[in-house]
Amino acid sequence: MKVSITNETLKAMIRDYKGLELSDEELELVRPELESYLSELEKLEDLDLSDLFSSRLLHIPD
Amino acid sequence: MPNVDLLRMTISELAPKIQNKEVSPVELTEAALAEADRLQPTLNSFITILHDGAMDQARKAESAISRGDYRGPLHGIPIGLKDNLATAGITTTVGSKVLANHVPEEDAEVVSRCRNAGAIIIGKENLEEFAAGATSNNPHYGAVHNPWGLDHIPGGSSGGGGANVAAGVTFVSLGTDLGGSVRLPGAFCGVVGLKQSFGRVSQRGLMVTSFNGDHIGPMTRSVADSALVLQVIAGNDPLDPSTVPVPVPDYSAHLGKGLKGLKMGVPSNHYFDMLDGEVETAVRRGIAALEDLGAELKEVSLPSMHYIGALRISAMADGVVTHEPFLKSHREDYGPDVLYRTIPGQFVLGRDYSKSLKVQRLIQEEYARVMQQVDFLVTPTAPVPAPRIDAKYIKMNGEDHRVRGPGSGLISRNTSPLNAIGLPAITVPCGVTQAGLPIGVQFITGPFEESLLFQVADSYEKVSPSQGLRPTVTVGV
């Protein structure tokens, strides 16, 4: 399922985290970069990030 | 010898003539400045040309050399600096309107080292706004034009430097590389571009967008020149915690030693997955040439590169934090490409930032393992030849990819991984397309193995089909 973030959520983040203001038109202009961020996150869903040195050597036995 | 011929030479060829007083630094600098003035309306490669300052330095260099105080191969050599490197008393715009009147009080560390070596700084070079992109199509200072094809980008973000070295204006230009910004102008302008190991050269005095991968490196007309310049700028800087106190070897010592007995790794994934046909043909021919020179080919797999795009997540957050003070006070002075590529970084969650850094580590570990099996890697530098300046998209594998601004990244897909991984990488010209645009091949070695990197690159350079090719810039078109 393709992940997305609504303009309402983005506006709430800007408001609550004191972010840089963006108009509705500007929110559309930042979409390509945001979509790229979300698409890369999706790819990470099947990646086991615990398999790094030294977690690889120090882990709870299966 | 006519001055125009002098300007076509390499530092390695010219330095002995300066040392022997056959060539005058004053006459050489006059010639370089005249060429800069002649080509500026066509290439737009400078933001500031330093006529008076350069001539002062040249007279001092000539006087010192005549007294027998020769400081080494950069003494009396005209060079260029990307305009995001701080220069004391000289405007340093970072390619932005925000910093259009910014005059630093101190030189960047690399600038001090070049001055101490006797180099003559002839100008501050044009770049992408805030060095944030691969085109050098600057909304405030105009587009830089590629000397090989004036309608094409020179690559970026250090495009002014790439254009100047290729056109015979500067003998070396120092650029900066956060995702390929030295190596891409190197590839697109048909010159040598080096991004050495992370920590090898001080970043102090560079407006660093991310402390996780920014580098200052040279663009030169030969591999030997790249080694000479790194010799000057490399070394620990006690005031820059990112530098590492690893001894600086003689980078020229391994030049000419050949490739026999060396293992050459060719990645079976990522680097050759999205390529223009002419680029792939040229790089594959380069690999065959390296085998002919005695390198043993070994295919290597880098499966974690499937996740390399995740590194952009931490870069997004780093970018917005760097720009936040300017965005709060001078947002209206930003061009739209950088503005709308930077602001989305404010939406990156801390969890995702941390995941991005873990992916970086995963990939670093994978490269560390691969570099135990081979001495060096070979890849295409850029997946395509230089796009046209007016191109908004590049079609690749049936999809449109943005050339600049939000969502772009195709051009730097083969160079940006090495910034986060930290390994040294160099681009060397490996031919031209049917349209006459240069193609680059990228070599990569283990950390702090720049001597080996130069050995490999120098061996290839001597058999490259680009040997002796130079652009002819038509002025006034």
Q: Is a pLDDT exceeding 80 seen at residue A61?
A: no
Taking an 8 Å cut-off on Cβ atoms, the answer to whether A10 and B409 are in contact is no
Query: Letter for the amino acid at B426?
Result: I
Closest CA to B367 of B215, B197, B192, B182: B197
What's the mean pLDDT in B164-186? 98
Chain A residues touching chain B at CB-CB below 8 Å: 5, 10, 13-14, 17, 19-20, 22, 26, 29-37, 39-41, 43-44, 47, 49, 51-53
Tokens 């720009």 appear where? B323
How far does the CA of residue A24 sit from the closest CA of chain B (Å)?
13
How far does the CA of residue B477 sit from the closest CA of chain A (Å)?
35
pLDDT digits (tens, 9 = 90+) for B106-147: 999 999 999 999 999 999 999 999 999 999 999 999 999 999
Instruction: Report the C-alpha gap between B117 and B309 in whole angstroms.
Output: 40
For chain A, what is the domain count?
Answer: 1
Chain A residue nearest residue B324, CA to CA: A20
pLDDT digits (tens, 9 = 90+) for B210-228: 888 999 999 999 999 999 9
Give every CB contact of residue B49 below 8 A, 6+ residues apart in sequence.
B33, B36, B37, B40, B122, B123
pLDDT digits (tens, 9 = 90+) for B381-411: 999 999 999 999 999 888 999 998 877 889 9
3-class DSSP state for residue B282?
A: helix
Q: Is a pLDDT exceeding 90 seen at residue B456?
A: yes
Instruction: Report the C-alpha gap between B53 and B89 in whole angstroms.
Output: 11
- Please give the order of strands across the beta sheet that includes B215-220: B46-49, B120-125, B78-82, B172-177, B215-220, B192-195, B425-432, B438-444, B376-380, B263-267, B296-300
What's the mean pLDDT in B416-420? 95
- The per-residue pLDDT of chain B, averaged, comes to 96
Q: Is a pLDDT exceeding 50 seen at residue B433?
A: yes
- Please name the member of A20, A26, A47 whose beta carbon is closest to the beta carbon of B327: A20
Element (H, E) at B173: strand B172-177
**Residue-level pLDDT at A1:** 47
By the 8 A CB rule, do B36 and B169 touch?
yes
B174: β partners: B81, B218
Select B3-304+358-461's CATH number: 3.90.110.10, 3.90.1300.10, 3.40.50.970, 3.40.50.880: 3.90.1300.10
**Confidence tier at B3 by pLDDT (50, 70, 90):** confident
Taking an 8 Å cut-off on Cβ atoms, the answer to whether B355 and A41 are in contact is yes
Domain that holds residue A23: 1-62
CA terminus-to-terminus distance, chain A: 30
Window 388-407 of B: residues touching A by CB (8 A cutoff) are 402, 405-407
3-class DSSP state for residue B158?
A: coil
What are the start-end ranges of the H helices in chain A? 7-16, 24-43
**Confidence tier at B2 by pLDDT (50, 70, 90):** low
**Residue-level pLDDT at B154:** 98
Tokens 């090495």 appear where? B418
* Sign of the alpha-carbon torsion through B296, B299, B300, B302: positive
Could you tell me the two tokens for B322?
């760097």
**Residue-level pLDDT at B207:** 87
**Residue-level pLDDT at B355:** 95
**Residue-level pLDDT at B476:** 76
Q: Is A17 exposed, middle or buried (0-12, 13-18, 19+ CB in 10 A)?
A: exposed
Instruction: Report the C-alpha gap between B448 and B427 in whole angstroms.
Output: 17
State how beta strands B393-396 and B296-300 pair.
unpaired
**Confidence tier at A56 by pLDDT (50, 70, 90):** low
**Residue-level pLDDT at B428:** 98
C-beta neighbour count of B59 within 10 angstroms: 14
A28 half-sphere exposure, CB direction, 13 A CA radius: 2
Determine which of A7, A20, A34 to mutate to test the interface with B (most B C-beta atoms within 10 Å): A20
